[in-house]
Chain A
Amino acid sequence: AQSVTQLDSQVPVFEEAPVELRCNYSSSVSVYLFWYVQYPNQGLQLLLKYLSGSTLVESINGFEAEFNKSQTSFHLRKPSVHISDTAEYFCAVINSNSGYALNFGKGTSLLVTP
């Protein structure tokens, strides 16, 4: 079985400060890793994903995440956040040999204030 742990349920941060949202997973086989974002009153959107290759992946709005196999982590980072980044962020995993359903963490609420 696999599980996804998002270590922080809420992360308050000031505008233009750096942020890291933590995600750890447990799996005995290779995985595909995803970060989804849910802005207020909107549906879930894919932010970025790791499938293979370079362990550092980036989104178009300045977020990046690094796959660390030894630490089984896929933390999401941004060097300088904006008010508009306020949202719920979900880490998700698909096990390479156990199906196609996303296994989600409980989410981290990022609140950016001036």
Chain B
Amino acid sequence: GAGVSQSPSNKVTEKGKDVELRCDPISGHTALYWYRQRLGQGLEFLIYFQGNSAPDKSGLPSDRFSAERTGGSVSTLTIQRTQQEDSAVYLCASSLALTNSNEQFFGPGTRLTVL
């Protein structure tokens, strides 16, 4: 079946612009996660959603970052007034449910470059 998909695969933007990154989780997966990977760093957790519950936003680095998940499926991560330190690969993952042991399936990522 189809895996997690993300778009765009690459995004180059100018400092100060807003960007939107999209994630389509695996059908039937109720939990959705966003991570980012900056050059030379491990993956950092940003936010996760479980069904219609309030998301856990504890990993968002600043109020310029926000995410929403419409209809319990597609999610959009928005970065406002981008800065050069926002340059990273943004990864989305989904899992069947929000439990510690559920395997998270990752998408291919969106590479964001802020000039």
Contacts and interface: CB of A to CB of B under 8 A. Distances in A.
A96 B42 contact: no
Interface string B50-85: 100000101100000000000000000000000000
Nearest to B91: A44
Contacts, number: 61
Chain B contact residues (Cβ within 8 angstroms of A): what range? 20 to 34
Contacts of B41: 106
Chain A contact residues (Cβ within 8 angstroms of B): what range? 20 to 34
A42 B45 contact: no
Interface stretch (A13-21, A45-53, A66-74): A45-53
A105 B43 CA distance: 7
A90 interface: yes
Given A6-B42, A43-B108, A44-B106, 18 more contacts: A4-B42, A43-B3, A43-B91, A44-B91, A49-B101, A90-B42, A90-B43, A94-B101, A96-B100, A99-B58, A100-B56, A101-B45, A102-B33, A102-B35, A102-B45, A104-B35, A105-B42, A106-B40
